[in-house]
Structure 1
Amino acid sequence: MIGILASNASDPAGHHALAAVQRSVSATQVQAISRSLLRDMAPDIVVAVDTPDGWSADLIAWLRARPRKLIVFGNMPIALGDFLGYERADTVAQFAADLAAASRSEAAPSGAPRESAAVVRYSALAQTLGGQTWHRPFERFDFADEWNNLGFGAIRGDGSIWAVGKPVQVPAEAELAAVFVGGTRQFSYAALTDAGSSSVLWFNRPVGPCDSFEWRLVENFLSGYGADTLPCQPVLSELPWGYDAAITSRLDCDEGVESARPLWQAYRRLGVPFTLAVHTQNLNRPEQHDILRELVADRTQGAVLSHTATHAPNWGGTYDNAVAEGMQSAALLEAATGVPVRYAVSPFHQSPPYAMRGLADAGYEGCIGGIIRNDPEFLTARGGALAGMPAGFVAHSQQCMLHGDCMLNQGDPLAIFKQAFDYAYSTNTLFGYLDHPFSERYSYGWRDEAQRIDAHETLIAYIRSKAQKPLFLHEEAALDFLAFRSLAQVVGDGGEFRVLTPGAREAASATASTPLTLGVEFRGAHVPVQPGKAL
């Protein structure tokens, strides 16, 4: 069991931290705990979220009692920092103002990315937790001031839960990552410290790295770090068992549908499943229907998702409008294809919380969206349940937009897309990317269909050259697996755990069924889940 420790003031960040940990270890293995529980009955793994300075003594006593693991997101309480050998720098108003400016990026022109002056750089110590010497800008764009094709969210400098915290310096041998501005090191961002018989992992941000591939460090700390002497927690892999990569892709049909046919034919030739997300005003033209019926005729290779009824920004701006958008779209698509629609793709990838609640209430089982510009709570390192959402509704962040506008003008045009897959591959992350069919009005930066098909084929060839056993999925199959994983339950404690997968009763729902097998990581081993058997 993992305890999430947050004060009243830090509850918003604690809300997201709890959901992020649950997405990795299952909902049954995480609970919010009170400060008083540290004195007697706290679990041996705790995540302390932006906790007050006055809580140091309780945390130190808890650490000293026996071998334990502590993860600290955000504020490092002063006395606890002293105990660990950390030094808090004096915070001045000018520094905060400078960092706020350095955290923002200018918009990206066509063919070249842009990033903020402030970046996080990881040291070689990150390899201890399965990481690399990563470079993460606070903010970066590949298209205008909206999309970050590398997938992670924004680290702000505005004092919010998404912002970097106060300047702290940790001992060099403990520093996992530091903040640099304009190439000059400023202060520590993450650290791994052994404290007596216990260990502490710290990220200088109230929500930690919950919106980035860096979350893999948290998972590895929980599941395997110090396995011989420290408590460990099973982590459910986001990759189906037996595969070293999982990839899903789609075309969002904003203005055209039938124009997707040449690319679909290329995907069929490559043996890669294909997905269309359809804005249903396109269905006013009967000539756009044939490809949809053909696509869903083979349910293993094709899928159709909702892309709303009117493609309204922010799902229409209200909960009621989101419900109406979702229900109208689902009805029209089912009428056109004969197949019920269970999943949606957000227009413009805008996915505000009220819209997700509206979709769930409209009967949808999940949604794809997420961009660095807005709705940071939707940008999750792992697919699954969002904070505050009911079980049975899953989200998946897919920010990698394979557009001609995002192809690099210098060097390898596909270098960013390859890097995005590399991040996913090295962190066991389900990788999703998107494009759009051409319309009479807009070609999304592609010169012609031949150039677009070549880019898609080249990226798929790169993925197949990098991964030993990649699994390509259409979006419905990918989300079905995420839904199945989100309903699995890790049970047990005291070093012995079992995984319970959704059983026969729940399997009557499509949400709880998948032909794929879950994998679980625990104490350095990665094995297939055998429901009910001890790990």
Structure 2
Amino acid sequence: MIGVVFPDARADAGQYVLAALRRSVSSAQAQAITRNALQEIAPDVVVAVDAPDAWSADLIAFVTRAASARPRKLIVFGHMPIALADYLRYRPAALPPELEQASRSASAPAGESRESAAVVRYGALAQTLGGGAWHRPFERFDFTDEWNNLGYGAIRADGSIWAVAEAPEVPAEAELAAVVVNGERQFAYAALWDAGASGVLWFNRPVGPCDSFEWRIVEQFLSGYRPDALPCQPVLSELPWGYDAAITSRLDCDEEVESARPLWQAYQRLGVPFSLAVHTQNLNRADQHEILRELLADRQQGAVLSHTATHSPNWGGSYDTALAEGAQSAELLERATGVPVRYAVSPFHQSPPYAMRGLIDAGYAGCIGGIIRNDPEFVTARGGALAGLPAGFVGHSQQCMLHGDCMLKEGDPLAIFRQAFDNAYATNTLFGYLDHPFSERYTYGWADEASRIEAHEQFIAYIRGKAKKPLFLHEEAALDFLRFRSLTQIIEEDGAFRVVTPSAHTTPLKTPLTLGVEFKGAHRQVEPGKALQ
């Protein structure tokens, strides 16, 4: 079991970290524990979230007693307690006041990207945990001050749970990543120690990297770091077994539905599934219905999702309006197509917690959203269950917007999109991207339909050239798989792990997709109920 310990003052960060861990190792294998339980229960792996200095002795004892008991792993997110810092030769310092400005990005003009002067830069040691020479700005935009097509959230410098905690130095041999401002290294961001018989991983943020592809480092530390000497925790892969990439895409029908037909026909030629998320005021026009029925004629290749009834910002601003938006949209779509709607896409990708609760009560099984501008808790490295919400409802962050406005004017127009897929490919992440059908009012920066189709075709060709065995899924199939994965449990008994998958009647998974699990450096197919070796 992984024990997650946090003070009451950081309960919000603790719950987000707990949810992130459960998206990787299942809900059975990550539990919130008390400070007292560090010694009385002493799980093999502990994650400490912004632990106070007064907890130093407990954490040092957890690490050092491994020499006389059993090896352990400790992950520290945010503040490093003072005595533990001394033990690890971690030298704390206050954040420089100028970091707040350096952490912010300018708005992106059409055809360009912008990023903050402050970035996280990973070094060679990151390769030990499946990382690369990664460059993650604190904040970046590809469309005005809203979208980051590379998919991750914002690192702040404002004292919040999303901010760097301090400006320390760590031993050079332990540093995984550093904060760099205008090309100059400032202080450490992540580190890895072999502390006696234990291993310690640290990230300079109370929530760790839970909103970024960098979460892969946490998973690799848990599942495969020093497997012959340290305890390892199985991690459920976000990719279906047998594939090295999984991709899903959609068009959000804000103002038009039927105009999606030319791009749909291109996807049919390419043999790629197609999804439409429909704002149901479009259904007031009868000429917008037929494409939906045609698309759903082949349920393996087409899917329809809700994009709300009125496309109101923040789902109308309350639980009640979100409930009404979701319920009305689902009713109208089922009436138009004869097929129940189980998943939604947030308008403007705004996904506040009250809206998710409204969708749950409206009967939905999940939602797609996530955007760097707002609702940071919905920008998640892995899809699955969300903090504070019931099992069976899943969220998936898909922030990559394939728009003409986001095609670069200089160099390779698709460079950012290729990088977005490369990051997903390198970190075993289910990758999602989106576009919008044209309307009389707006073509989303595309010169015409032909140039838009060409860009989509080039991007799909790049994905197929990069991945050896990619799997293209429509959105319903992708979310069904994430839901199946979220309901799967890893059970530990007498020192052995086995994976228990939900029964067939529990989930509506209609494709023969199976799970993979990473454990002690090996990636293997899940054999339900069989012990992992």
Aligned residue for 2:179? 179
Alignment correspondent of 1:138: 138
Letter of the 1:443 counterpart: T
- SS in structure 1 opposite 2:252? strand
* 1:277 and 2:241 aligned: no
1:510-529 matched pairs, under 5 angstroms: 510=508, 514-529=511-526
**Superposition TM-score, scaled by structure 2 size:** 0.98
Aligned counterpart, 2:451: 451
3-state DSSP of counterpart to 1:86: coil
What SS does structure 2 have at the residue aligned with 1:223?
Answer: helix
CA distance in 1, matches of 2:494, 2:2: 12
Q: Which amino acid in structure 1 is aligned with residue 133 of structure 2? A: T
Alpha-carbon distance between aligned partners in 2 of 1:514 and 1:501, rounded to the nearest angstrom:
15
Aligned to 1:395, the other structure's residue is in SS state strand
Q: How far is the alpha carbon of 1:40 from its aligned partner?
A: 2.4
Distance 2:375 2:213 in 1: 18
**TM alignment of 1:351-370, pairs within 5 A:** 351-370=351-370
Q: CA deviation at 1:508?
A: 4.8
Q: How many residues align?
A: 528
Alpha-carbon distance between aligned partners in 1 of 2:336 and 2:289, rounded to the nearest angstrom: 7
Is the 2:305–2:344 Cα contact (8 Å) retained in structure 1? yes
Corresponding residue for residue 193 of structure 1 = 193
Cα deviations across residues 176-205 of structure 1 (Å, max 9, x unaligned)? 000011111110000001100101000000
- Provide closer, same or farther for how the CA distance between residues 191 and 508 of structure 1 changes in structure 2, counting only shifts above 3 A: closer
Secondary structure of 1:9's aligned partner: helix
Residue 73 of structure 1 pairs with residue 70 of structure 2: no
- Paired with 2:137 and 2:92, the residues of 1 have a C-alpha distance of 23
Matched, 1:83 2:80: no
Distance, in Å, in 2 between the alignment partners of 1:41 and 1:354 is 35
Query: Quick one: distance in 1 between partners of 2:138 and 2:230?
Result: 33
CA distance in structure 2 between the aligned counterparts of 1:39 and 1:4, rounded to whole angstroms: 13
For structure 1, the 5+ residue unaligned runs are none
Name 1:37's counterpart in structure 2. 37
Distance in 2, matches of 1:237 and 1:508, equals 20
Deviation at 1:41, TM superposition (A): 1.5
Q: 8 Å contact 1:106–1:145 — kept in the other structure? A: yes
Partners of 1:231 and 1:495 within 8 A in 2: no
Within 5 Å, which residues of 2 pair with 1:463-478? 463-478=463-478
**Alignment map for 1:79-158 (pairs within 5 Å):** 79-89=83-93, 91=94, 95-96=96-97, 98-158=98-158
**Following superposition of structure 1 onto structure 2, how do residues 104-503 of structure 1 map, counting pairs within 5 Å?**
104-503=104-503
8 A Cα contact 1:33 1:42, kept in partner:
no
For the 8 Å contact 1:484–1:514, the answer to whether it is kept is no
Superimposed CA distance per residue, residues 471-522 of structure 1 (whole angstroms, 9 cap, x where no aligned partner)? 0000000000000000000001454100000014xx2552x66521000000
Deviation for aligned residue 1:9: 1.2
Which residue, 524, 527, 530 being the options, matches 1:530?
Answer: 527
In 1, Cα distance between the equivalents of 2:261 and 2:56? 61
SS in structure 2 of the partner of residue 169 of structure 1? coil
SS in 1 for 2:462: helix
- The 2-side partners of 1:438 and 1:307 are apart by 16
8 Å CA contact 2:483, 2:507 repeated in 1? no
The question of whether the paired residues in 2 share the 8 Å contact of 1:155 and 1:164 is answered with yes
Q: Secondary structure of the equivalent of 1:256?
A: coil
Q: Quote the offset at 1:360 in angstroms.
A: 0.5
SS for the counterpart of 1:409 is: coil
Q: Output one character per residue of 1:233-292: Cα deviation in whole Å (capped at 9) or x when no partner.
A: 000000000000000000000001000000000000000000000000000110011100
In the alignment, the residues of structure 1 paired with residue 145 and residue 157 of structure 2 have an alpha-carbon distance, to the nearest angstrom, of 17
Question: Cα offset for 1:140?
Answer: 0.1
In the alignment, the residues of structure 2 paired with residue 224 and residue 525 of structure 1 have an alpha-carbon distance, to the nearest angstrom, of 8
Contact in 1 for aligned 2:480/2:507 (Cα 8 Å): no
**CA deviation map 1:88-138 (0-9, x unaligned):** 12x26xx23x11111110100000100001100000110000100100000
Q: Distance in 1 between matches of 2:334 and 2:512?
A: 24
Per mean C-alpha deviation after superposition, the further-off stretch among 178-187 and 409-418 is 178-187
Matches of 1:514 and 1:68 in 2, distance apart?
39
Aligned residues of 2:316 and 2:322 also touching (Cα < 8 A)? yes
What are the ranges of 5 or more consecutive residues in structure 2 without an aligned counterpart?
none
Output the amino acid matched with 2:321.
N
Paired-residue identity, %: 77
Deviations 1:8-44, CA, capped at 9 Å, x for gaps: 1121110100000000000000111111111221201
Q: 1:328 to 1:502 in 2, by over 3 A?
A: same
Could you tell me how far apart the structure 2 residues matched to 1:484 and 1:436 are?
28
1:54 deviation in Å?
A: 1.1
Tell me which amino acid in the other structure corresponds to 2:197. Answer: S
Q: Give 1:230 deviation, angstroms.
A: 0.2
* Aligned mates of 1:513, 1:11 — CA distance in 2: 38
What letter corresponds to residue 76 of structure 1 in structure 2? M
Distance 1:69 1:353 in 2: 32
Partner SS, residue 13 of structure 2: helix
Confirm or deny: 8 A CA contact 2:17 2:208 kept in the other structure: yes
Question: Are the counterparts in 1 of residues 516 and 525 from structure 2 also a CA contact under 8 Å?
Answer: yes
The separation in 1 between residues aligned to 2:507 and 2:166, in whole angstroms, is 47
Q: Which amino acid aligns with 2:260?
A: A
Whole-Å separation in 2 of the counterparts to 1:112 and 1:151:
16
Once residues 324 and 515 of structure 1 are traced to their aligned partners in structure 2, the CA distance between those partners, rounded to angstroms, is: 35
Question: Is 2:48 aligned against 1:48?
Answer: yes
